[in-house]
């Protein structure tokens, strides 16, 4: 989670310096939600591993590459799309509301399955 916050801060910094043009091939909000859900799950998995911080960081980087391959998106397009959506806080809030809701539903379903 720390790494995502650092990346988000860097992206926000870039937003301040970037022009207002819409990036070519901008990811849809639905696709952004899907990817962000997987990013947060991946970060949680990597940070929960009983290894050193450096090792979990390496693991996360490998998992992140696979994540983007699974979604058929390169990291630069994701970053451009993230920068674009961060320019509109209301739109980003809508995206993250969906991400949080989806993560909560997954957690609740997994909790129910664990009880069985």
The answer on pLDDT for 51 being more than 90 is no
Cα 24 to Cα 42, 53, 56, distances in angstroms: 27, 36, 33
pLDDT at 4 over 60: no
Q: What is the mean pLDDT of residues 58-70?
A: 93
Report the percentage of the chain scoring pLDDT > 90: 53
Tell me: pLDDT of 106 over 90: no
Question: What pLDDT is attached to residue 73?
Answer: 95
What is the rounded CA–CA span in Å between residue 94 and residue 65?
Answer: 26
* pTM for this model (two decimals): 0.74
Q: Would the pLDDT of 45 be above 70?
A: yes
Higher pLDDT, 39 or 8: 39
The answer to whether 77 and 99 are in contact (CB under 8 A) is no
The rounded distance, in Å, linking the Cα atoms of 68 and 63 is: 9
Which whole number is the average pLDDT over 65-73? Answer: 95
Average pLDDT over residues 69-76: 94
């Amino acid at each position: 989670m720390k790494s995502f916050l650092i990346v988000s801060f860097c992206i926000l910094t870039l937003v301040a310096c970037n022009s207002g043009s819409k990036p070519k091939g901008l990811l849809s909000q639905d696709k952004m939600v899907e990817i962000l859900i997987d990013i947060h799950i991946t970060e949680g998995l990597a940070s929960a591993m009983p290894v050193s911080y450096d090792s979990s960081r390496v693991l996360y980087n490998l998992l992140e590459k696979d994540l983007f391959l699974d979604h058929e998106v390169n990291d630069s397009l994701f970053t451009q799309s993230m920068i674009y959506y961060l320019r509109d806080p209301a739109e980003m809030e809508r995206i993250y509301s969906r991400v949080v809701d989806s993560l909560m539903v997954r957690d609740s379903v997994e909790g129910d399955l664990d009880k069985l």
